Amino acid sequence: MMLTLIRRELLDNLMTFRFAVAVFIMLFLVVANTAVLIKDYERRLAGHKTEVQKSRKYMLDGKTYSVGELNIDRPPNPLSIFNAGLDKRLGNEIWVYYGHVPTLWDAEKHSSQNPFMNILSSIDIVFIFEGVLSLLALIFAYDTLAGEYERGTLRLVLTHPVSRGYILVAKYISAMVCLLVPLLMSLILAMFLLTTSASFSLSMPDFLRIGGIIFASIAYLSVFYLIGMLISAMTRRTSTALMLSMFVWGFLVLVYPNMIVAVIQPSNPPEERRASVHNHIKQIWEEFERERKQFLATDRHLEGDPYGNMRWRGGYNFEHFQDKASVLQHYYYAGAEIDGFHEEPESQALHVQNYHRFLVPLIIDTAERTWRIREPVLEELFILPATIDRAWLRLSPTGIYDVATQALAGTDLQGMQDFFTAVQQHRQSVIDYYYDKNAFGSRQWFSADKETVDWRTLPQFIFQRSDISLNVQRALPDLFLLLTLNIVLFIGVFLIFVRREV
């Protein structure tokens, strides 16, 4: 009986014009967009590669330790094609300096692109699914019960000894099968395009992540189909059901996600908080500056200016504070690259070496101290509001789906943080390397007159995207939310349909 019902529904659905339209529109949108997104990814990857080479060259060009330009470039995430998340938006170039703990708020955009291109939005595959899949699901669902009721066929079916639950399940299964056809077809074509593109190297875990995204898409599709069914079960006329579905779609997909983010105040802790913490950090650095001055005063060879008493031939030195109050960035930036001295200032050089042996550990130490203050405040100023936003977004299935797929693709905030944590670890290993080499107390720290630094032995930066299990773990709450929503909606449809008079 069940099979007969399913077969009937399936044939009903497959032979319709809307099915043809559904397949056509999904294929068209997904394929066209994937082609654009692949090109975009290739461009970003090429940019990343040039940047890596360039920063390698810059690093090798640095003759002394203190001017080593250690830039790290964030590679684009290939799964950003599915959900771009924060991958394109955040800075992708970060500088590793021993005197400052790098975070995503310190990152810059590499080789700045045309600022007028930033205003062009681009849509990813999940965005298409968010909008179009849900619309298709509602179009398939709005008349599934109301239509049969109107035509009177529902009465006919119910004269047979079938339970109403069976009818619902049959309708649900057959419609989902019909909706899965365009979804899977378009995804397969997209995957085909991805695998033929030379620049994509998707690993096994990546395919699993994509599998997770497909699973989330199916759950999302099902949520909207059930919403449509619910509306269809509640109303007695197809036209009413249709209007309600369309407006529900407009609200849940088009309006709510945009409205809620605009409405909730980016709960900025008052500007004073930011300012007071910034001042606190500044004070710590002032303390450092006093200590530095004190040290310089005790050594009469230095007399306040370590480089002033040397007569050097070429090169440069600099020391100043870097400051960016908006992200609580404040640190001491110093370095020197001296090509040679006019007369052999051996004793003087020893004093300068001594100065650095004292100074650099102090800088590192102060950077650690300020980091302990800065980290929780960054969390409070930036991450907390973003988390609250995302919590509000979850009131719409579209928001849940978006958050879940971002987590799976690794383009969510945590995925981005992974990279910056890796950079912080890299900074630590660079500092350890300096300590090992006794770089601070060496002549190569500031002068390139005798020998230059061999950067090739420096530890390499390696970044592995987080483990798939971690991605799944991050997406799991939202996936559960989607599934729960499915169950709740199904029970709702069932209850309404069972109690309904035909």
Partner 1 sequence: MWHIAKRELYDNLNSLRFALATVLILALMLTNAIVYLREHPARAQAYHNAAANATKTVEARSTSLYRLAAEGPGDLHKAPSPLRFCAEGDEAFLPTHAGGSNFFPGIANVRPIWRMIYPQETPHLFNIRPDFTTLDWAFIVGYVLSFIALLFTFDSISGELERGTLRLTLANPIPRHIVLVGKFLGAFISVNIPFAVAVLMNLLLISTSDAVQLNAEAWGRLGILSGIVILYACLFIALGLLISAAVRESGVSLVVLLLIWVSFVIFIPNTLASIGSRTSVPIAYMEFWSRRIQLGNEAREAYRDKYGDSQTPPPVHVLGEYVTSEAEAYERFNEAYLKQQIEQGKRARAIIRISPTAITQRLFESFAGTGFERHLQFIENVQRYAREYREFVIDTDRADPESLHVVGIQEGMSQKPVNPKAIPKFKDTLSLNRDFNTASTDLLLLVLFLMVIASGAYLAFVRLEI
266 belongs to the binding site for partner 1 (CB under 8 A): yes
CA 178 – CA 447 distance, rounded (Å): 72
Of residues 15, 119, 198, 462, which one binds partner 1 by CB under 8 A?
Answer: 119
Secondary structure (3-state) at 157: helix
Q: Which stretch binds partner 1 (CB under 8 A): 30-38, 150-158, 314-322, 424-432?
A: 30-38
Q: Which residue lies nearer to partner 1 by CB, 262 or 462? A: 262
Of residues 2, 11, 14, 36, which one binds partner 1 by CB under 8 A?
Answer: 36
Tell me, residue by residue from 137 to 176, as one string, x for binding to partner 1 by CB under 8 A and - for no binding: --x---x---------------------------------
Strands (E), 184-328: 312-324
Q: Which residue lies nearer to partner 1 by CB, 353 or 396? A: 396
Of residues 257, 306, 397, 410, which one binds partner 1 by CB under 8 A?
Answer: 257
In angstroms, the Cα distances linking 131 to 138, 225, 252, 311 are 11, 13, 10, 69
Which residue blocks in 125-163 are alpha helix, DSSP H? 125-128, 134-141, 146-151, 153-159
52 belongs to the binding site for partner 1 (CB under 8 A): no
Beta carbon of residue 499, minimum distance to partner 1 (angstroms, whole number):
23
21 belongs to the binding site for partner 1 (CB under 8 A): yes
Site for partner 1 in 412-441 (CB under 8 A): 413, 416
118 belongs to the binding site for partner 1 (CB under 8 A): yes
Q: Do 284 and 369 meet the contact criterion of CB atoms below 8 Å apart?
A: yes
Site for partner 1 in 78-107 (CB under 8 A): 85-86, 89-91, 104-105, 107
DSSP 378: H
Site for partner 1 in 352-391 (CB under 8 A): 382-383, 385-386, 389-390
Q: Which stretch binds partner 1 (CB under 8 A): 61-69, 128-136, 445-453, 472-480?
A: 128-136
Q: Which stretch binds partner 1 (CB under 8 A): 73-81, 222-230, 252-260, 273-281?
A: 252-260
CA 178 – CA 6 distance, rounded (Å): 11
Site for partner 1 in 54-73 (CB under 8 A): 54
Q: Which residue lies nearer to partner 1 by CB, 421 or 429? A: 421
CA 440 – CA 433 distance, rounded (Å): 11
Q: Which residue lies nearer to partner 1 by CB, 110 or 465? A: 110
198 belongs to the binding site for partner 1 (CB under 8 A): no
Residues paired with 329 in a beta bridge:
324
In angstroms, the Cα distances linking 170 to 3, 8, 184, 303, 438 are 8, 9, 21, 89, 74
What is the dihedral sign for C-alpha 145, 149, 152, 156? positive
Beta carbon of residue 107, minimum distance to partner 1 (angstroms, whole number):
7
64, two tokens: 């002394």
Beta carbon of residue 17, minimum distance to partner 1 (angstroms, whole number):
5
Q: Which residue lies nearer to partner 1 by CB, 219 or 378? A: 378
Q: Do 90 and 417 meet the contact criterion of CB atoms below 8 Å apart?
A: no
Tell me, residue by residue from 320 to 359, as one string, x for binding to partner 1 by CB under 8 A and - for no binding: -------x--------------------------------
204 belongs to the binding site for partner 1 (CB under 8 A): no
75 belongs to the binding site for partner 1 (CB under 8 A): no
185 belongs to the binding site for partner 1 (CB under 8 A): no
Q: How many CB atoms lie within 10 A of CB 458?
A: 18
Query: Which secondary structure element, helix H or strand E, spans residue 1, and what is its range?
Result: none
Residue at 312: amino acid letter? W
Q: Which residue lies nearer to partner 1 by CB, 162 or 261? A: 261
Closest CA to 319 of 360, 262, 267: 360
For the chain, how far is it from start to end, CA to CA, in angstroms?
A: 21
137, two tokens: 């699901």
CA 119 – CA 114 distance, rounded (Å): 10
Q: Do 316 and 337 meet the contact criterion of CB atoms below 8 Å apart?
A: yes
Of residues 10, 25, 27, 284, which one binds partner 1 by CB under 8 A?
Answer: 25
